[in-house]
Amino acid sequence: MSGYVIGTDLGGTKILTALADINGTVLAELRQPTGAGEGPERVIERIVDSITALQHKCGVPPGALMAAAVVVPGPELDTGQGIVHFSNNLGWRNVELKKVLQNRLQVPVYIENDANAAALGEHIYGAGDGIQDMVYITVSTGIGGGIIINGRIYRGVSDGAGEIGHMTIMPDGPPCTCGNVGCLEALASGTAIARAALELIEEGGGEAVIKAAGGNINEVDARAVAAAALNGDAEAGVIINGAARALGIGIANIVNVINPPLIVLGGGVMESRELFWPVMERELQDRCFKVQLKNLKVVPAALSTRAGVLGAAALVLQNLEICS
């Protein structure tokens, strides 16, 4: 059996597309700007152009393409119908992505949300290779997650599973983008860390953080807070410690519910590993049973920004029942 599949990661700023063979080997990748401001039709046209360009580059005849998957940032997708009900990153409402692309490409098209696809990418190609059950968490501007059970994305009854960033950690905590308060995302995301630092600065503190941001308050972000904390600044340390504790509590909750063998942590904020890991480990020790921790590994993600596109390729192969 021979043939080729396409995985596309459609982000707010870039479209990353990969062409793979049916063994899952990626033959070529192409990146281009999304141009979301030009509207869905132009963006979909660019996806088709990317796929055509990759087919030409690799000498794939039109009939040899078997299927494609497109990863879309949520929050409101219907993966079954392939409709993007709402995506703030793209500025889309009720776009029938699957239908339009299937008409253009004349092959089956699958739609998946970005965190689930990244989880599957890590499972098949990255840190979760060879492990059947795992939970993926990405900590960047927001906090996303994906649950892999028996090698497959666990979606829940209405595509809502894996919203790890919106588990409540602090019932009366800071407001979250979802409308609730005290969510993990409101306490430990890059945005939350930056907001805590700006509050500190408003109160007259945060000198080391401002310095780490090059002296410009507008440049204060989670990276600057982490840099100040790494330099031994106590105020920045308190902020990072609070975020790391919230993450540790969130992970402990997951471990208590699912008892997975593997948690994979990705996203820019997790790059400051030495700041976060020891605090998270302590929370796990305090809040989980020894038997759960005995077989648990918490590891950094392996794929960085390619997790989504590789997950999309893996999703196509799973849907075609070529790879498990």
Chain residues in the site for Zn ion (CB under 5 A): 166, 176, 178, 180, 183
Q: How far is the CB of 72 from Zn ion (least distance, A)?
A: 20
The torsion angles phi and psi of 312, rounded to 5 degrees, stand at -65, -45
Closer of 172 and 203 to Zn ion (Cβ): 172
Closer of 88 and 285 to Zn ion (Cβ): 88
Q: How far is the CB of 250 from Zn ion (least distance, A)?
A: 12
Closer of 114 and 233 to Zn ion (Cβ): 114
Residue of 3, 246, 286, 258 lying closest to 119 (CA atoms): 258
CA distance 151 to 123: 7
In this structure, the strands spanning 109-113 and 65-72 are parallel
Residue 101, classified by CB atoms within 10 Å of its CB into exposed (0-12), middle (13-18) or buried (19+), is: buried
Q: How far is the CB of 166 from Zn ion (least distance, A)?
A: 4
Residue of 151, 164, 124, 133 lying closest to 267 (CA atoms): 164
Q: How far is the CB of 114 from Zn ion (least distance, A)?
A: 17
Residue of 295, 280, 300 lying closest to 137 (CA atoms): 300
Closer of 170 and 299 to Zn ion (Cβ): 170
CA distance 49 to 63: 16
CA distance 28 to 17: 8
Q: How far is the CB of 189 from Zn ion (least distance, A)?
A: 10
Q: How far is the CB of 294 from Zn ion (least distance, A)?
A: 32
Q: Give, in order, the Cα–Cα distances in Å from 9 to each of 63, 145, 204, 271.
A: 23, 16, 42, 22
Closer of 84 and 186 to Zn ion (Cβ): 186
Closer of 148 and 176 to Zn ion (Cβ): 176
CA 89 to chain centroid, in Å, comes to 14
